[in-house]
Protein backbone atom coordinates (compact mmCIF):
# COMPACT_ATOMS: atom_id res chain seq x y z
CA UNK A 1 0.00 0.00 0.00
CA UNK A 2 0.79 3.73 0.08
CA UNK A 3 1.88 4.10 -3.52
CA UNK A 4 2.49 7.48 -5.10
CA UNK A 5 2.85 7.88 -8.84
CA UNK A 6 4.07 10.77 -10.97
CA UNK A 7 3.40 11.55 -14.59
CA UNK A 8 5.25 12.04 -16.79
CA UNK A 9 8.47 10.40 -15.66
CA UNK A 10 10.46 12.44 -18.16
CA UNK A 11 9.62 15.55 -20.14
CA UNK A 12 11.60 17.68 -22.53
CA UNK A 13 10.23 21.06 -23.53
CA UNK A 14 11.27 24.24 -25.25
CA UNK A 15 12.12 27.37 -23.34
CA UNK A 16 9.05 29.51 -22.72
CA UNK A 17 6.53 26.70 -22.64
CA UNK A 18 4.63 25.44 -19.59
CA UNK A 19 4.83 21.93 -18.24
CA UNK A 20 2.39 20.15 -15.93
CA UNK A 21 3.48 17.34 -13.61
CA UNK A 22 0.91 15.14 -11.89
CA UNK A 23 1.28 13.46 -8.53
CA UNK A 24 -1.25 10.80 -7.55
CA UNK A 25 -1.80 8.76 -4.42
CA UNK A 26 -3.01 5.44 -5.81
CA UNK A 27 -4.34 3.61 -2.77
CA UNK A 28 -4.86 6.21 -0.07
CA UNK A 29 -6.26 9.67 0.41
CA UNK A 30 -3.52 12.26 0.59
CA UNK A 31 -4.45 15.14 2.83
CA UNK A 32 -1.10 16.82 2.25
CA UNK A 33 1.27 16.65 -0.69
CA UNK A 34 4.77 18.03 -0.88
CA UNK A 35 6.79 19.08 -3.90
CA UNK A 36 10.57 18.84 -3.90
CA UNK A 37 13.26 19.77 -6.34
CA UNK A 38 16.55 17.95 -6.68
CA UNK A 39 19.53 19.10 -8.71
CA UNK A 40 22.09 16.56 -9.96
CA UNK A 41 24.04 14.96 -7.13
CA UNK A 42 22.28 17.18 -4.61
CA UNK A 43 19.73 16.65 -1.88
CA UNK A 44 15.99 17.30 -1.95
CA UNK A 45 14.81 20.85 -1.41
CA UNK A 46 11.21 21.42 -0.37
CA UNK A 47 9.43 23.79 -2.75
CA UNK A 48 5.90 23.85 -1.42
CA UNK A 49 3.27 22.10 0.64
CA UNK A 50 -0.28 21.68 -0.58
CA UNK A 51 -3.39 20.66 1.29
CA UNK A 52 -6.47 19.48 -0.54
CA UNK A 53 -8.79 22.35 -1.33
CA UNK A 54 -6.55 25.15 -0.12
CA UNK A 55 -3.72 27.26 -1.46
CA UNK A 56 -0.23 25.87 -1.40
CA UNK A 57 2.36 27.14 1.04
CA UNK A 58 5.62 27.96 -0.70
CA UNK A 59 9.08 27.87 0.81
CA UNK A 60 11.17 31.01 0.89
CA UNK A 61 12.70 31.77 -2.48
CA UNK A 62 10.23 29.71 -4.52
CA UNK A 63 8.21 31.79 -6.97
CA UNK A 64 4.55 30.87 -6.57
CA UNK A 65 3.62 32.44 -9.92
CA UNK A 66 6.18 30.31 -11.69
CA UNK A 67 5.47 27.04 -9.92
CA UNK A 68 1.70 26.70 -9.81
CA UNK A 69 0.39 24.02 -7.51
CA UNK A 70 -3.15 22.67 -7.49
CA UNK A 71 -4.44 20.06 -5.06
CA UNK A 72 -7.99 19.68 -6.24
CA UNK A 73 -8.70 16.24 -4.82
CA UNK A 74 -7.46 13.91 -2.12
CA UNK A 75 -5.59 11.83 -4.68
CA UNK A 76 -4.15 14.38 -7.10
CA UNK A 77 -1.82 17.34 -6.95
CA UNK A 78 -0.32 19.06 -9.96
CA UNK A 79 2.76 21.23 -10.36
CA UNK A 80 2.86 23.49 -13.40
CA UNK A 81 6.16 25.07 -14.33
CA UNK A 82 5.15 28.17 -16.26
CA UNK A 83 7.34 29.75 -18.94
CA UNK A 84 10.05 27.21 -18.29
CA UNK A 85 13.69 28.13 -18.77
CA UNK A 86 16.82 25.95 -18.89
CA UNK A 87 17.58 26.76 -15.24
CA UNK A 88 14.28 25.08 -14.31
CA UNK A 89 15.67 21.77 -15.55
CA UNK A 90 15.71 19.49 -12.55
CA UNK A 91 14.28 16.35 -10.95
CA UNK A 92 10.92 17.09 -9.36
CA UNK A 93 9.66 14.73 -6.67
CA UNK A 94 6.34 14.73 -4.86
CA UNK A 95 5.37 13.04 -1.63
CA UNK A 96 2.10 12.54 0.15
CA UNK A 97 0.80 11.93 3.65
CA UNK A 98 -2.52 10.34 4.46
CA UNK A 99 -5.21 10.62 7.07
CA UNK A 100 -3.57 7.87 9.11
CA UNK A 101 0.11 7.96 10.00
CA UNK A 102 0.56 11.56 8.94
CA UNK A 103 4.20 11.48 10.07
CA UNK A 104 5.16 9.33 7.10
CA UNK A 105 5.67 10.81 3.66
CA UNK A 106 5.37 8.46 0.70
CA UNK A 107 7.50 9.54 -2.21
CA UNK A 108 6.77 9.38 -5.90
CA UNK A 109 9.32 8.17 -8.46
CA UNK A 110 10.12 11.68 -9.65
CA UNK A 111 9.87 13.58 -12.93
CA UNK A 112 12.95 14.59 -14.91
CA UNK A 113 12.35 17.97 -16.59
CA UNK A 114 14.72 19.16 -19.28
CA UNK A 115 14.17 22.61 -20.76
CA UNK A 116 15.98 23.26 -24.01
CA UNK B 1 23.44 26.83 4.83
CA UNK B 2 22.44 23.22 5.30
CA UNK B 3 20.62 22.47 8.53
CA UNK B 4 21.56 18.81 8.36
CA UNK B 5 25.11 18.08 7.26
CA UNK B 6 26.07 14.63 6.14
CA UNK B 7 29.58 13.23 5.97
CA UNK B 8 31.24 12.02 3.99
CA UNK B 9 29.73 13.48 0.83
CA UNK B 10 31.05 10.63 -1.25
CA UNK B 11 32.37 7.22 -0.32
CA UNK B 12 33.84 4.57 -2.59
CA UNK B 13 34.63 1.26 -0.95
CA UNK B 14 35.31 -2.36 -1.81
CA UNK B 15 32.65 -5.01 -1.38
CA UNK B 16 32.82 -6.51 2.12
CA UNK B 17 34.07 -3.38 3.86
CA UNK B 18 32.22 -1.59 6.66
CA UNK B 19 31.26 2.07 6.59
CA UNK B 20 29.56 4.75 8.66
CA UNK B 21 27.67 7.78 7.43
CA UNK B 22 27.03 10.69 9.75
CA UNK B 23 24.19 13.19 9.88
CA UNK B 24 24.82 16.20 12.12
CA UNK B 25 22.96 19.31 13.14
CA UNK B 26 22.98 21.98 15.81
CA UNK B 27 19.19 21.70 15.98
CA UNK B 28 17.05 19.21 17.84
CA UNK B 29 14.75 16.96 15.86
CA UNK B 30 11.65 15.16 17.09
CA UNK B 31 12.34 12.36 14.65
CA UNK B 32 14.87 11.48 12.02
CA UNK B 33 14.59 9.29 8.97
CA UNK B 34 17.08 7.67 6.64
CA UNK B 35 16.37 7.18 2.96
CA UNK B 36 18.14 5.51 0.09
CA UNK B 37 17.73 6.87 -3.41
CA UNK B 38 18.83 5.38 -6.72
CA UNK B 39 19.40 7.49 -9.86
CA UNK B 40 16.17 8.58 -11.51
CA UNK B 41 13.97 7.34 -8.68
CA UNK B 42 12.35 8.76 -5.57
CA UNK B 43 13.84 8.17 -2.11
CA UNK B 44 12.85 5.01 -0.27
CA UNK B 45 12.43 5.10 3.50
CA UNK B 46 14.80 2.82 5.41
CA UNK B 47 14.06 3.69 9.03
CA UNK B 48 12.59 6.25 11.41
CA UNK B 49 14.15 6.95 14.81
CA UNK B 50 12.35 9.02 17.41
CA UNK B 51 13.97 8.47 20.80
CA UNK B 52 17.34 9.90 21.83
CA UNK B 53 19.90 7.10 21.97
CA UNK B 54 17.71 4.78 19.96
CA UNK B 55 19.41 2.08 17.89
CA UNK B 56 17.64 0.22 15.11
CA UNK B 57 18.93 -2.59 12.97
CA UNK B 58 17.82 -3.52 9.49
CA UNK B 59 19.80 -6.57 8.39
CA UNK B 60 23.34 -5.22 7.78
CA UNK B 61 22.32 -1.62 8.48
CA UNK B 62 22.48 -0.12 11.98
CA UNK B 63 20.94 3.29 12.66
CA UNK B 64 21.54 5.36 15.77
CA UNK B 65 19.88 8.54 16.98
CA UNK B 66 22.04 10.73 19.19
CA UNK B 67 21.14 11.18 22.84
CA UNK B 68 20.40 14.86 22.28
CA UNK B 69 18.46 14.12 19.07
CA UNK B 70 20.76 16.38 17.06
CA UNK B 71 22.66 13.75 15.13
CA UNK B 72 22.40 10.28 13.69
CA UNK B 73 24.56 7.67 12.08
CA UNK B 74 24.12 4.84 9.64
CA UNK B 75 26.54 1.93 9.78
CA UNK B 76 26.67 -0.68 7.04
CA UNK B 77 28.43 -3.96 7.69
CA UNK B 78 29.96 -5.98 4.85
CA UNK B 79 28.79 -3.62 2.14
CA UNK B 80 27.52 -5.10 -1.11
CA UNK B 81 27.27 -3.55 -4.60
CA UNK B 82 23.51 -3.45 -4.12
CA UNK B 83 24.04 -0.93 -1.32
CA UNK B 84 25.24 1.62 -3.88
CA UNK B 85 23.11 4.75 -3.89
CA UNK B 86 22.48 8.15 -2.37
CA UNK B 87 21.77 8.01 1.37
CA UNK B 88 19.76 10.86 2.79
CA UNK B 89 18.89 11.69 6.36
CA UNK B 90 15.82 13.81 6.97
CA UNK B 91 14.63 15.34 10.19
CA UNK B 92 11.38 16.68 11.48
CA UNK B 93 11.31 19.39 14.13
CA UNK B 94 8.71 19.56 16.88
CA UNK B 95 5.26 20.65 15.75
CA UNK B 96 6.30 20.67 12.11
CA UNK B 97 5.11 18.40 9.35
CA UNK B 98 8.02 19.35 7.10
CA UNK B 99 10.97 17.09 6.43
CA UNK B 100 14.38 18.75 6.29
CA UNK B 101 16.75 16.72 4.17
CA UNK B 102 20.45 16.34 4.78
CA UNK B 103 23.10 17.11 2.20
CA UNK B 104 23.36 13.46 1.15
CA UNK B 105 26.08 10.82 0.99
CA UNK B 106 26.78 9.09 -2.26
CA UNK B 107 27.99 5.52 -1.73
CA UNK B 108 29.68 3.37 -4.34
CA UNK B 109 30.44 -0.24 -3.47
CA UNK B 110 32.84 -1.81 -5.95
CA UNK B 111 32.61 -5.56 -6.61
Does pLDDT of B19 surpass 90?
A: yes
Collect all residues with Cβ–Cβ distance below 8 Å to A61 and sequence separation of at least 6: none
Contact B73, B21 (CB under 8 A): yes
Collect all residues with Cβ–Cβ distance below 8 Å to B56 and sequence separation of at least 6: B47, B49, B62, B63, B64
| Rounded average pLDDT over B100-106 | 94
E strand or H helix that includes residue B59: none
Which residues of A sit within 8 Å Cβ distance of B? 4, 6, 32, 34, 36, 41-46, 49, 91, 93, 95, 97, 102-105, 107-110, 112
**Whole-number mean pLDDT of chain A?**
92
Nearest to B42 among A97, A102, A108 (CB): A108
B21-49 pLDDT, tens digit each: 999 999 999 999 999 999 899 999 999 99
Three-state DSSP class for B56? strand
Predicted confidence band of residue B93 (pLDDT cuts 50, 70, 90): confident
A33-43 pLDDT, tens digit each: 999 999 988 89
A107/B42 Cβ within 8 A = yes
Amino acid sequence: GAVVSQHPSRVICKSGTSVKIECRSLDFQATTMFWYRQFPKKSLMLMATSNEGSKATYEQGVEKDKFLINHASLTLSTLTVTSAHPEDSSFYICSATGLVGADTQYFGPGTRLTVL
Amino acid sequence: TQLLEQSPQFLSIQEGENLTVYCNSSSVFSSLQWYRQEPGEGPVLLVTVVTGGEVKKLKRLTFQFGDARKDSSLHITAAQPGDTGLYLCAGRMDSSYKLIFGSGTRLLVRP
